[in-house]
Amino acid sequence: MLKRKMMKFTSKETAFLKRNEVCRLATVSHDTSPHVTPVCYLFHKGHFYITTDYETKKYKNVLENPKVALVVDVYKPHKAVAVEGEAEVLERGEEFRRVSGLFYKKFEWARKDPWEEGESPILKVKPVKKSTWGL
């Protein structure tokens, strides 16, 4: 696998991504069937983190094909950041615990139904390409 450079985001893009909390995540299965779903996310240190469950289509698709796309957007005025990236699954470890803590801090739904290591995976999306408009 090729090592890609970290995608850089402008201060306006970063502020927009941190201000919002829902994106649409697109995944593709091994047979190229697309799947898109709205999800809550965290943008932290240049990566997007998305919680999921083991039974979801997005989780199964990422295991089959780690290439994903997502868009964070608002309408009126239309602003968006669209990203293509590579996802990896976090299930345990320091990064998993740190990101889980960030979810608990930001989202009430996460505090109401906390998860332990190995109970609910987190998708870590490393952006490799982006496009932005309206910012």
For the chain, the domains span 11-133
pLDDT band at residue 30 under the 50/70/90 scheme: confident
Mean pLDDT of 85-90: 96
Instruction: Report the predicted TM-score, pTM, of the whole model to 2 decimal places.
Output: 0.92
How many Å is the maximal CA-CA distance in the chain? 41
Q: Report the percentage of the chain scoring pLDDT > 70.
A: 96
The verdict on whether omega for the bond into residue 77 sits within 30 degrees of 0, i.e. cis, is yes
Residues 6+ apart with CB under 8 A from 78: 133, 134
The CATH architecture one would assign to domain 11-133 is: Roll (2.30)
Query: In percent, how much of the chain has pLDDT > 90?
Result: 78
> What single DSSP character describes residue 16?
H
Residue 4: its pLDDT value, please? 60
